[in-house]
Structure 1
Amino acid sequence: MLGWWTVITTETLAQRAAPGDGGKEATLATWDSGLGGMDWILELCKQGKAEQHAFNGYPNRFTVAASVVLPILACGIREHLGHFNGPEPSAWKGSVTVHQERIAACTPEQMLLVEVWDQS
């Protein structure tokens, strides 16, 4: 499959990079998408609202304030219908997992980690 697997977590860069099971209870949302599925976070980087820390696809790592990304999640992850360029994430039907109770516990200033894994 050509595309991306996205994970949004409350873990820090150091916590996520450490060996172990990767704090599953810190995961806020995950989804699979097609080739354009990383465009939304790259757009946030261009706008200065997110910062990219790893670039190799295994994974791409970004940090972004909860106040930026959580309103995007609140709108819902729309169904992926092909290549998409824009500010909203999109996902293959049935691949979205969102933990609303964990999202509700985030503070606006909290930094979140977004990982985007190459699925090719």
Structure 2
Amino acid sequence: MLGWDVLVFREGADSLKDSALIRWDTGVFGLDWLDDLVKANKAVDLGGNGYPNRYSVTAATLLPILANGLPRNHSPLVIGEDYSLPPGWNGQLKIEPAALGCSPGDILVIEAWDQS
């Protein structure tokens, strides 16, 4: 596994990559903070096998976290044939303006696609 391509949609929206409200790439352990939200009953693990894994969370929970940038992670150094990702790597966080118009109670669905 190389990491994750993560997309966020409003609940009920078609999960087309072009319609994501929020998007980022992250390293192997870059979803650990989502698992911590599930353990704290602040998010729901909707299951999946990496193609994708799915979570649901309220805008009131997710948006303040992302306002400070992506959470740090403990992903290892990854070296491929023509690339390398440093330890703790997170890609660029892309937030569409429509995401900022979410109401606090809006349910957001997070899809995390395995980048193997």
Larger Rg: 2
Unaligned runs of 5+ in 1: 17-21, 85-89
1:55-95 superposed Cα distances (whole Å, 9 cap, x missing partner):
200000111011000101111236x67528xxxxx613xx3
Q: TM-score, normalised by structure 1?
A: 0.74
Post-superposition shift, 1:11? 3.8
CA RMSD of aligned residues (A): 2.3
1:108 equivalenced with 2:104 (yes/no): yes
For the 8 Å contact 2:9–2:108, the answer to whether it is kept is yes
Post-superposition shift, 1:36? 0.8
1:107 partner SS = coil
**Structure 2 equivalent of residue 12 of structure 1:** 12
Q: Quick check: which one's helix share is greater? A: 1
> Measured at CA, do residues 108 and 102 of structure 1 come closer, stay the same or move farther in structure 2, by a change above 3 Å?
same
In the alignment, the residues of structure 1 paired with residue 75 and residue 48 of structure 2 have an alpha-carbon distance, to the nearest angstrom, of: 20
Count, aligned residues: 104
1:72 equivalenced with 2:69 (yes/no): no
Identity %: 37
In the alignment, the residues of structure 2 paired with residue 102 and residue 58 of structure 1 have an alpha-carbon distance, to the nearest angstrom, of: 25
Q: 1:60 aligns with which of 38, 49, 53?
A: 53
Q: TM-score, normalised by structure 2?
A: 0.77
1:5-47 superposed Cα distances (whole Å, 9 cap, x missing partner):
111111427x43xxxxx2734x221111111111111111011
In the alignment, the residues of structure 2 paired with residue 118 and residue 69 of structure 1 have an alpha-carbon distance, to the nearest angstrom, of: 21
